[in-house]
Structure 1
């Protein structure tokens, strides 16, 4: 398969800082070679550095989304399947814009569904899924080329276990499908019934159980194993048409043994193999 590996190396608007170091670390960890061994030809594309370093976090974050959307548009025109390696989860808004996605499956330890009105910290990435669903930052999100908010009926949140009180209330009120890796195949039928035809797959790497894989400083015990996640994304690929992938929130500073890049490689190889069998 022809792939575009689009690197968005930003963390809270800062270039190559914190989580922004993750995309390059995954590439240098052998991802292109791993994909090539399984018959995939990957072009690596890095989003250019934002020239104005004094931009506010939110302005810089959405500028990255804009650039990702445009890069995906070019990749798709060349017949390449887009895989975005990003620092922050907000980048998924740019990915769904570029792909024209109508549904999303969001793997994450956190809910990322706070809004400026509910967030106790104001952390922008904690509003990433809320932005994708059109619950906040509507004006600036709608300025991303191709962006259209996804109906919460066509959203599946997988593996979320670290939710604050306001997020729990929001998820009780919204029709978002809650799932674990184990019951994802069953829950995917609900996604299809809701009309999902172009599904974006988003994976925050801290969804993994930190006892088996430490992706960043926020990762906590209790989540799925890498094998569980691989099986779940493969099942998803067989169940619904997936238009692209974002993989986020890897901080190499918390992975002294370099265990995360090979896990990402195996995950993508299994996922792509499942797509090709359809």
Structure 2
């Protein structure tokens, strides 16, 4: 029997709507102020723009060198996701299937690394990467993202792989499949839900990251979108009109990607936990 629609349900729905509106407030401020003049932003931040200043987006696009910054961000995000998926899926598979205490110890080390704040290892990291010649290198940055993202990625893969029946792998081995082939031909295709989840979560993190690229990429031609947007804020002036327009331009690709893939996030995480 269906539950009746009660006053309590109505109250919960109203509270949920109000909470949702609260979360949308920052988006309103960013978008509305991106269409104002600099003077109007300073005098009346909360109001709607009196005249829509679409030239803010044109000027921001040019000053950001948007296509170059977008390409840099895209290359870094895609490359980092590829290495994270490849190496972390294999590592998680071996940790799950190797029934030894050392496997549990290694897994716990990866999980524990997730709580270490980046600021505590920032200076040693830069000194080490400088001595290895990885500074001012896109691939050096990708390697760092592999290190920092391995903890969460292995954690997610680990929980999902535990739900895959070992009998599938044993049958493949009997048919003559190598251990390497068992993973890539049998196991990895079954990891699609959690792989999509991993890619989405890591993309949100890598695309929006500012501090690590700022420390590693010193060449202006290698700037990512967050780095390029930062240069609207100088020592003596802050170009809020262009900065906010640039911010909208930077989040549009990520919003499109997120909303097109968001249904896989809960599916991937719950599949791993239920199995």
Q: Where on the TM-score scale, by shorter chain, does this alignment land: which range?
A: under 0.3
Higher helix share: 2
TM-score (norm 2): 0.23
Which gives a bigger RCO, structure 1 or 2 (Cα 8 Å, sep 6+)?
2
Higher strand share: 1
Structure of higher CA gyration radius = 2
